[in-house]
Structure 1
Amino acid sequence: MINTRIPHPFTTRFPSLLLRRNTYRTALGLLLVCGMLGPASLLANSLSVSQDVALLSDDTLRQWPAPAAGPERLGDQHLQTLAEEASKQAQAKYLAKKFRQSATAMRKYVDLAWAEAEKRDGIEPELLIAIMQKESSLRPRVQSRYGAQGLMQVVRRWHREKLSPSESLFDPEVNIRVGTDILEEYLELAGGSLTKALGKYSGNARGYPGKILKESRKLAELADQAAVMG
């Protein structure tokens, strides 16, 4: 399926984080297309295809058969899964070493961040992981004197509408979901400015946005390198 979503300002401003999610399927898709085109002579003649497509009518495009989900497609999906797995493992090992925790424990938070980011437009898992590092040092049951709780340090009394009374902010899955809801809300209020949204999230703590963005990029680079090597 072609992604028709409008890029969020965050991913436009920091394209490496957007590329991390899309690189696997894009690269593999190009390989598949090249294989379908056939000999090198045909590939050379197809270089102008992007220009030709623009001239095709909707009726002509409808006559093109949809690609079948054959072995090549299944292979693409398998390779993408392997690349994402390598990325997650690399991030979990990095966090385990940094915070002197087990890689298994860190992997749980990485998986939750990736799963939550997948549901959102313009929010990458690296951003959520960076916030968790800064807010709680990845300790799910920490609580501040102001009542901020859990991985992303959410203050329940300020965001009661975002969770049910029976839910606990000490539950990592709940905390990451609600923390991401808050970040999304602040992004909208800030007109898409991630710097302003992060500033609001932190209570205007000095230097907070820059630290989060720097760590986000580092995590994204780790993921990219692991995906290529893996």
Structure 2
Amino acid sequence: MNRHAPDTLRRRLLLVGSAALLAPRAILAGAQREETLSDDVASVMRTSVNNVNPARLVFANPRDGERWLSDMSGRLARFLPDEAARHRILINVQYETTRAGLDTQLILGLIEVESAFRQYAISNVGAKGLMQVMPFWQRYIGKPDHNLFDIRTNLRYGCTILRHYNNIENGNITRALARFNGSLGSSKYPNAVIGAWRNRWQWA
């Protein structure tokens, strides 16, 4: 900025810069494609979305579950300072991803990219919640009164949708991620999710 700029202009520019620094991270949700599902596929997905059981950690050894929760909670603290909120999200993520046959750690990377773990995030195209689910999915696989800002509901939808795309792509998770984001043909989004997974969420 020119040091001779009028004080009013200088203050205005400083306010704009401060607002940019304080603004929440941009949501990277793309324009998920509304598509026609076969009756069989829609029925399977609808059953998955509507079949609700209490969320719990799914580990063969409960001690592994406790160790995982403690480790992931520490990593998630940079996004969520409240420990109870972290545990709630992590238990639900682990349960829903296991139920859908998805890699839990990869989905943590996806949620970081999509919403930075903000439960009430909404994109400029209307995608909602942790996994940035588009509301049109309620017509195909859910119910109009489903709350996509609810943690369990959002994760159940998101995991069901990604599993559907992974099936379409015969297990090619890179292409499935691009479909989930509505950006098939571009590697930007899958690379961002995989990068977040590798940098922050891998677990042995």
Residue 220 to residue 86, structure 1, CA distance change in 2 (3 Å)? same
Asked if structure 2 preserves the Cα contact closer than 8 Å seen for 1:127 and 1:212, the reply is: yes
Asked if structure 1 preserves the Cα contact closer than 8 Å seen for 2:80 and 2:117, the reply is: no
Q: Could you say which residue in structure 2 is the equivalent of 1:114?
A: 94
Asked if structure 2 preserves the Cα contact closer than 8 Å seen for 1:148 and 1:154, the reply is: yes
CA distance in 2, matches of 1:183, 1:94: 24
Q: Could you say which residue in structure 1 is the equivalent of 2:123?
A: 144
Residue 120 to residue 81, structure 1, CA distance change in 2 (3 Å)? same
Q: 1:84 aligns with which of 65, 76, 79?
A: 65
Other structure's SS at 1:154 match: coil
CA distance in 1, matches of 2:74, 2:127: 27
Asked if structure 1 preserves the Cα contact closer than 8 Å seen for 2:127 and 2:133, the reply is: yes
Larger radius of gyration: 1
Higher helix share: 1
- In the alignment, structure 2 segments of 5+ residues that lack a partner are 1-57
Q: Could you say which residue in structure 1 is the equivalent of 2:188?
A: 207
Q: 1:124 aligns with which of 97, 103, 106?
A: 103
Matches within 5 A, 1:56-205: 80-97=61-78, 99-121=79-101, 123-204=102-183
Residue 188 to residue 100, structure 1, CA distance change in 2 (3 Å)? closer
CA distance in 1, matches of 2:150, 2:66: 24
Relative to the length of structure 2, the TM-score reads 0.64
Asked if structure 2 preserves the Cα contact closer than 8 Å seen for 1:162 and 1:181, the reply is: no
Cα offsets for 1:18-64 (capped at 9, x unmatched): xxxx9x85xxxxxxxxxxxxxxxxxxxxxxxxxxxxxxxxxxxxxxx
Give the CA RMSD over aligned residues.
Answer: 2.2
Q: Could you say which residue in structure 2 is the equivalent of 1:62?
A: none
- In the alignment, structure 1 segments of 5+ residues that lack a partner are 1-21, 26-79, 225-230
CA distance in 1, matches of 2:138, 2:105: 23
Cα offsets for 1:148-185 (capped at 9, x unmatched): 01110011114522221221001010000000111011
What is the CA-CA distance between 1:137 and the residue it aligns to?
A: 0.8
Residue 181 to residue 100, structure 1, CA distance change in 2 (3 Å)? closer
Cα offsets for 1:92-136 (capped at 9, x unmatched): 111112x25222212211110111122123x12112221111111
Relative to the length of structure 1, the TM-score reads 0.58
Asked if structure 1 preserves the Cα contact closer than 8 Å seen for 2:73 and 2:90, the reply is: yes
Identity %: 26
- How many residue pairs match? The answer is 145
